[in-house]
Amino acid sequence: MSQPSLPGSRPLLAIDTSTQWLSLALRHGGQTHLFHEETGNRQSELILPQIAALLAEAGLAVADLGAIAYAQGPGAFTGLRIGAGVAQGLAAPFGIPLIPVPCLDAVASLCPGQAAVLAATDARMGEVFYAWFDTQIWQRLSPYHVGKAASIRLPENIRLPEKNMPGQNSGNPFSGSPKHAGICGIGNAFALPEPPPFPGRPGMPTAEHYLALAASGRYPAVSAAEAELLYVRDKVALTAAEQAARKGAA
C-alpha cells in the first residue's frame, strides 16, 4: 500500500494519552492550540470534547485536518489504546493520514543537540521504559527496552567525552560525575524512588512536542487501517497473587 501524503501546510493534530495526562495540540495558520491537563482515568470521557473545542477555537472541522499524530508507545496500556482508537476513528472517514510517534522519541526531544540522551519513563510494576538517543543527528542508539532502572547500561555505540575538561560541567545540569559527563537523562523515571543510575531530570513532553516530531518528516504516515501501537512489554499487569507477593516482599 502506498504511503499517505504528508499534510504540508494543512492543519495538524497531535494526541498524547500515554500517561495520566490528556495532551492535545492543534497547529493551524502558524498558531498552536494546546490542551494539557492531568485527567487520570477520565481521558476517554474528555478526549473528544476537548478535540472538538480545539477545532472550534481554530475554526476547523475534522475533515480539514492534513494529518493526525498520536503517541505510539510505549506507555500506559489503556491510555495508548484510547488515543490510537480516537485517532483512527477521526481519520478513517476522511482518509486523513496518521503519524505514529514513539513516546520515548518525544521524551528524548526535550534534550536537543545532545550526543548521549537517556529517555526513561515510568512503566509501573517496578520497571521503566527506556532507550538511548543521539539528538545531534537524531538517531536512536538502542532498542526500546523495559526493565529495572538499575539494569540500564550505556550502549556500545554512544559518544561520550573522553575526559571531563576543566569547566565542562559549568552550565550543564546533566553532566553529573566525570564518569557520566555529557549524558542527558530525561523522563519521569527520574522522579521514581529508584531512578536510573545516570544524571537526569523528570521532564515529560506535551502534545506540542509530538506535533514538532510529526512535522519533521522523520516518521512515516500510515492509513487509519495500518495504525499500530508500540509495545515492549508482553505482560501489562500483575496478577492478584503477584501483587500480594510484591507487597509482602516490601
Do residue 18 and residue 98 come from a single domain?
Answer: yes
Is 244 domain-assigned?
no
Instruction: Give pLDDT tens digits for 50-70.
Output: 999 999 999 999 999 999 999
pTM: 0.85
For residue 26, give the CATH number of its domain: 3.30.420.40
Range of the domain at 86: 12-103+205-216
**CA-CA distance, 10 to 79, in Å (whole number)?**
27
- Rounded CA separation 11/26 (Å): 7
Same domain, 136 and 93: no
* DSSP code for 103: H
Instruction: Please tell me whether residues 154 and 78 are part of one structural domain.
Output: no
pLDDT value of position 165: 39
- CA–CA gap between residue 23 and residue 21 (Å, rounded): 6
The 10s digit of each residue's pLDDT in 193-209 is 999 999 999 999 999 99
